[in-house]
Amino acid sequence: MGSITPCLWFDGQAEEAAALYTSVVRNSRILDVSRTGPSESDPALTVSFELDGQPFVGLNGGPQYSFTEAVSFQISSDDQEEVDRYWAALTEGGEESRCGWLKDRYGLSWQIIPAVLPSLIGGPDPDGAQRAVAAMLTMQKLDIAALQTAYSGT
């Protein structure tokens, strides 16, 4: 059976980006670096890496293309500490957006999503779900306690 591997187009920072991503996301590693020449000091052409077991390729393709919000990667986070850790690492040199979205320093969009979010914005209480969505729309980094409070109406 085949597999799908996203290829991310960078303007010379593929190896640096892969190093950041693999240092931030658990169960991640750089698999291979193909260089433009025979020396380890030659620039990378491609970098193969895994993020939480998902394969990726980073390509140093040049300045012709850049990332947009049309593609983003979601990271499900177990608790607020994990949300905060991902947020801090990926917004450093990047920019915060709304509703758990951010752009990292390379312009790649990420969504840092608490694992509990689907049960709050799609929970059995439609009024609670609406309150949770309304609260989420006011946030940049998602605050689990505030979302839970909004859902419960307390």
125 and 87 in a common domain: yes
pLDDT averaged over the chain? 96
As to burial, measured by CB atoms within 10 angstroms (0-12 exposed, 13-18 middle, 19+ buried), residue 15 is buried
Is the pLDDT confidence value at 88 over 90? yes
Whole-angstrom distance, CA of residue 47 vs CA of residue 54 = 14
What's the pLDDT at 154? Answer: 86
DSSP string, the chain: ------EEEESS-HHHHHHHHHHHSSS-EEEEEEESSSSTTSPEEEEEEEETTEEEEEEE--TT----TTSEEEEEESSHHHHHHHHHHHHTTSEE-STTEEE-TTS-EEEEEETTHHHHHSSS-HHHHHHHHHHHTT-SS--HHHHHHHHHT-
77 and 53 in a common domain: no
46 and 12 in a common domain: yes
48 and 76 in a common domain: no
| CATH code, domain carrying 28 | 3.10.180.10
Q: What percent of the chain has pLDDT over 90?
A: 95
Q: Number of structural domains, the chain?
A: 2
Once rounded to an integer, what is the mean pLDDT over residues 39-49?
Answer: 94
Once rounded to an integer, what is the mean pLDDT over residues 70-85?
Answer: 97
Per-residue model confidence as pLDDT tens digits over 101-118: 999 999 999 999 999 999
Q: 48 — phi, psi (to 5°)?
A: -95, 130
Is the pLDDT confidence value at 8 over 90? yes
CB neighbourhood size of 18 (10 A): 27
94 and 55 in a common domain: no
Banded model confidence at residue 1, pLDDT cuts 50, 70, 90: low
In contact, 99 and 139? CB cutoff 8 Å:
yes
Is the pLDDT confidence value at 4 over 80? yes
Per-residue model confidence as pLDDT tens digits over 127-140: 999 999 999 999 99
Place of tokens 């439609």: 126
Once rounded to an integer, what is the mean pLDDT over residues 75-82?
Answer: 97
What's the pLDDT at 132? Answer: 98
What's the pLDDT at 111? Answer: 98
What's the pLDDT at 123? Answer: 87
Higher pLDDT, 16 or 2: 16
Is the pLDDT confidence value at 2 over 80? no
